[in-house]
Structure 1
Amino acid sequence: MSYLIPDTALSIAGLTDYIRLLLEQDEQLRQVWVTGEVSSANQHRSGLFFTLQDPDGSAAIKCVVWNSQLTKLAQIPIRGEQIIILGNIRVYPQRGEYQLTVWQVLPAGVGLQALRYQQLKNRLQEEGLFDVERKRSLPIHPQIIAVVTSPTAAAWGDIQKTLKQRYPGLHVLFSPATVQGEQAPASIVKAIARVERDNRAQVLILSRGGGSVEELACFNDERVVRAVADCPIPVITGIGHQRDESLVDLTADACVHTPTAAAELVVPALAELYAEHQERIAVLHDTMRIEMQTAGNKLQGMRDRLHRLRLDRQVQQEVLNLSWKRQQLIQVTTGRLQQATQHVELLRQKLTTLDPQAVLQRGYAVVKQENGAIARSATELELGQELSIQLAQGKVKVKITEVNG
């Protein structure tokens, strides 16, 4: 029996090439996201080869990450882990196989959330939103506080009860918000903005009770984190979880792990304040008593010392010494005054002897020429020259009529 081979029959290479063109030129397959579980992984010189399969094992696909791309992956494929990969389909004619050439690998499910959380945390940390220097101190005795939480949550009741017990009469401003679900981030941001516009609160509590990671996801939302960072008043977070801190906790000025703890932190207990006050009064009394006792002992010691020194005798002796020194001073001063008086009299007598007026009183006269010079020799004078004669009483002018040498 003979068979007629149709003209449309393809070779294996032709069929494989046709399949390659279909797969590699398909727009959907040039860049495709695929999720699955890594069933095997082998490192070769050229790259990392692994198999990705559905969790139930119903389907699998071979994948490769070339060495040039390995350092750029967010996560290295490891057997047994759920991942999401980005790549394109490639067909290998020699083996009649196709596989995914992988460009990027991300963790799936909880792992993806953790990756996004870490990336956002790193970015906010680089901006300085978690720096200790940014955190403000809480007011010691606030009179008005604001609370942002759900009006139906147990957290709001716990906070009210705690504040009433610890600090009766405190003014509490309640700004309701949704604290779970997709609408929670926007609702919390609006509630914080409402408190800011009111501009009365001195501190703000952002709180909710416990919950799963998914229920607390709103406290890792960037919008909520930035609203807390930009809030003009100190913020305390009291979110009911005991494991990892949320990004809002890291940004807030203070954080605790329960709504009740937040209420305890924001205000002191009046009973404790009263006890502390009484304790300070007791300490002050004891201190004053000790100080007065010490001062009294010191005063008595000085009295005893004065008594032992017999101060009255010392004063009498000092009075006698001063009296004796006074007499000595008077004697010395009197002697020096007499000496000075005698010296002055001697100088007066000398001055009297040298006084020209005294000579004139004895009958002598002073003859002066016209230029005021005193005439001492007849040879200096000429006939007809006028002279002035100073007498004891008055002056006379004369003219020379004769000169006798």
Structure 2
Amino acid sequence: MTFNLPSLLVPDTALSVAGLTAYIQLLLEQDDQLRQVWLTGEVSSATQYKSGLFFTLQDPDAKAAISCVVWKSQLHKLATLPVQGEQLILLGRVHVQPHRGTYQLIVWQALPGGEGLRALRYRQLRNRLEAEGLFDPARKRPLPLHPQTVAVVTSPQAAAWGDIQRTLKRRYPGLRVLFSPALVQGDQAPASIVAAIARVERDNRADVLILSRGGGAIEDMACFDHEIVVRAVANCPIPVIAGIGHQRDESLSDLAADVFVHTPTAAAEQAVPCLADLRVEHQDRLNALNQAVSRYLSCADDRLQSLRDRCGRLKLDRLLKQESQVVFWLRQRLIQSTQRRFQTAQQHHQMLQEKLSTLDPQAVLQRGYAVVRQQNGGIVRAIADVNLNEDLTIQLGQGQIKVTVTDVSDASPKFSK
């Protein structure tokens, strides 16, 4: 098969890449306006190396940027050091890098030019959202200890997605991972991120959501400072972990998230515990419990053995004999005490009987005494109680005598023994 190529005017000699680059370098570096030029713009990123300070100067409105470098020998001469987010006025010259086919600005002097537009917008939005309470620590929710499903919002082409997958699989095998793809760079990224978060919310299976991307220049991270993205993160009903790899300290999405870290891998580590660590902790607790039980059983065995030794030393038969002897002694003491009390009671009873016998009127009569009674039964105790010719009854120890009073005398009789 043959192809009919259109006739082309091919020069006798073609430029090499080096030749073209040299030509461009000659045009730019020999141009009087480019050999010493003043530029103004906003510093979007800055990195310090041993050879010097490399940074990017951008014009946010025009979407243009230029690479800049201040060599180490020139740093101490600058009026101000380039800092991310600052507006600067730079003096330098345009330099072509032949091996890369790019150009950059070799900076001789840097003057403060006021706050950068991007930094100003960032601070204004941050202050407004902070006033609304979107960054309030009280809004932060705790992460579940053992999530069953984790959702990830990032770009499918990003290295962050692979890092998160590997980390989750290594730390928590068997976990269900839901992937909600989104653009994480460019003008369409904010709307794409918001839509990806909304998909996870509608799915309603995730226990925690990871919003992530790898590192990059500050302009590549602008989508995470967009208001709609920040509000979507703050209002998400699922706890959000922000794992955005960036050089700046924090994005607004970081502030709105429940937890934020600086790398996708760290975000995955925050989302789930490490099963290996949990197994070790469980084994440690099990070992501690076994040791506690062993110590308790050992103490119980020691106490039991001590009691056995004591019983062995006392010789139970001797102990029983001693206790029987004690019981016998106590029984004898009880019997003796009872007998003594009984004898005392008998003696007291005998004494009372004797007293009663002494006081018995019949016994008095038996000893030879008599009781004189009137006709009405009253006892005559004095001569004043009787009258002459009165009939009386004399009660003797055996029988009665009826008499008549013939004489009354107050002389006391004398008794013979």
Kindly tell me: are residues 55 and 300 of structure 1, through their superposed partners in 2, closer, same or farther at Cα, counting changes over 3 Å? closer
Name the aligned partner's letter for residue 262 of structure 1. A
Matching residue of 1:148: 153
Which of 179, 184, 198 is the aligned partner of 2:184?
A: 179
Name the aligned partner's letter for residue 272 of structure 1. D
Which of 278, 283, 300 is the aligned partner of 2:283?
A: 278
Paired residues for 1:3-402 under 5 Å? 80-83=111-114, 107=115, 111-304=116-309, 312=319, 316=324
Deviations 1:359-403 (A, max 9, x none): xxxxxxxxxxxxxxxxxxxxxxxxxxxxxxxxxxxxxxxxxxxxx
How far the C-alpha of 1:322 sits from its partner, in A, is 8.0
How far the C-alpha of 1:308 sits from its partner, in A, is 6.3
Kindly tell me: are residues 252 and 319 of structure 1, through their superposed partners in 2, closer, same or farther at Cα, counting changes over 3 Å? farther
In structure 2, C-alpha distance between the alignment counterparts of 1:192 and 1:139, rounded to whole Å: 19
Q: Secondary structure at the match of 1:130?
A: coil
Kindly tell me: are residues 317 and 202 of structure 1, through their superposed partners in 2, closer, same or farther at Cα, counting changes over 3 Å? farther
Q: Secondary structure at the match of 2:157?
A: coil
Q: Once structures 1 and 2 are overlaid, which stretch shifts more, 211-220 or 161-170?
A: 161-170
Q: Secondary structure at the match of 1:172?
A: strand
Kindly tell me: are residues 320 and 191 of structure 1, through their superposed partners in 2, closer, same or farther at Cα, counting changes over 3 Å? farther
Which runs of no fewer than 5 residues in structure 2 stay unpaired?
1-38, 42-88, 92-109, 344-417
Name the aligned partner's letter for residue 178 of structure 1. L
Kindly tell me: are residues 179 and 304 of structure 1, through their superposed partners in 2, closer, same or farther at Cα, counting changes over 3 Å? same
Deviations 1:39-94 (A, max 9, x none): xxxxxxxxxxxxxxx978xxxxxxxxxxxxxxxxxxxxxx93324xxxxxxxxxxx
Q: Secondary structure at the match of 2:111?
A: coil
Name the aligned partner's letter for residue 261 of structure 1. A
In structure 2, C-alpha distance between the alignment counterparts of 1:170 and 1:136, rounded to whole Å: 21
In structure 2, C-alpha distance between the alignment counterparts of 1:326 and 1:129, rounded to whole Å: 93
How far the C-alpha of 1:118 sits from its partner, in A, is 2.1
Kindly tell me: are residues 55 and 140 of structure 1, through their superposed partners in 2, closer, same or farther at Cα, counting changes over 3 Å? closer
In structure 2, C-alpha distance between the alignment counterparts of 1:203 and 1:154, rounded to whole Å: 21
How far the C-alpha of 1:174 sits from its partner, in A, is 0.7
Kindly tell me: are residues 328 and 133 of structure 1, through their superposed partners in 2, closer, same or farther at Cα, counting changes over 3 Å? farther
In structure 2, C-alpha distance between the alignment counterparts of 1:292 and 1:148, rounded to whole Å: 55
In structure 2, C-alpha distance between the alignment counterparts of 1:305 and 1:281, rounded to whole Å: 36
Deviations 1:77-125 (A, max 9, x none): xx93324xxxxxxxxxxxxxxxxxxxxxxx3xxx222222222223333
In structure 2, C-alpha distance between the alignment counterparts of 1:320 and 1:125, rounded to whole Å: 95
How far the C-alpha of 1:255 sits from its partner, in A, is 1.4
Kindly tell me: are residues 213 and 328 of structure 1, through their superposed partners in 2, closer, same or farther at Cα, counting changes over 3 Å? farther
Kindly tell me: are residues 193 and 307 of structure 1, through their superposed partners in 2, closer, same or farther at Cα, counting changes over 3 Å? same
Q: Once structures 1 and 2 are overlaid, which stretch shifts more, 300-309 or 201-210?
A: 300-309
How far the C-alpha of 1:325 sits from its partner, in A, is 9.6
Q: Secondary structure at the match of 1:179?
A: coil
How far the C-alpha of 1:175 sits from its partner, in A, is 0.7
Kindly tell me: are residues 329 and 134 of structure 1, through their superposed partners in 2, closer, same or farther at Cα, counting changes over 3 Å? farther
How far the C-alpha of 1:184 sits from its partner, in A, is 1.4
Kindly tell me: are residues 305 and 169 of structure 1, through their superposed partners in 2, closer, same or farther at Cα, counting changes over 3 Å? same
Name the aligned partner's letter for residue 167 of structure 2. T
In structure 2, C-alpha distance between the alignment counterparts of 1:293 and 1:254, rounded to whole Å: 48
Contact 2:169 2:175 in 1 (8 A): yes
In structure 1, C-alpha distance between the alignment counterparts of 2:185 and 2:236, rounded to whole Å: 21
Matching residue of 1:338: none
Deviations 1:306-334 (A, max 9, x none): 66678845854775688689879999xx9
Q: How large is the Cα RMSD of the aligned pairs?
A: 4.0
Contact 2:218 2:246 in 1 (8 A): no
Deviations 1:288-310 (A, max 9, x none): 22221122123333444566678
In structure 2, C-alpha distance between the alignment counterparts of 1:322 and 1:227, rounded to whole Å: 94
Q: Once structures 1 and 2 are overlaid, which stretch shifts more, 316-325 or 279-288?
A: 316-325
Larger radius of gyration: 2
Deviations 1:160-216 (A, max 9, x none): 122222222211111111111222112111111111111001010000000111111
Kindly tell me: are residues 329 and 152 of structure 1, through their superposed partners in 2, closer, same or farther at Cα, counting changes over 3 Å? farther
Contact 2:90 2:111 in 1 (8 A): no
Task: Figure out how many residues of one structure are paired with residues of the other and give that number.
Answer: 248
Name the aligned partner's letter for residue 113 of structure 2. Q
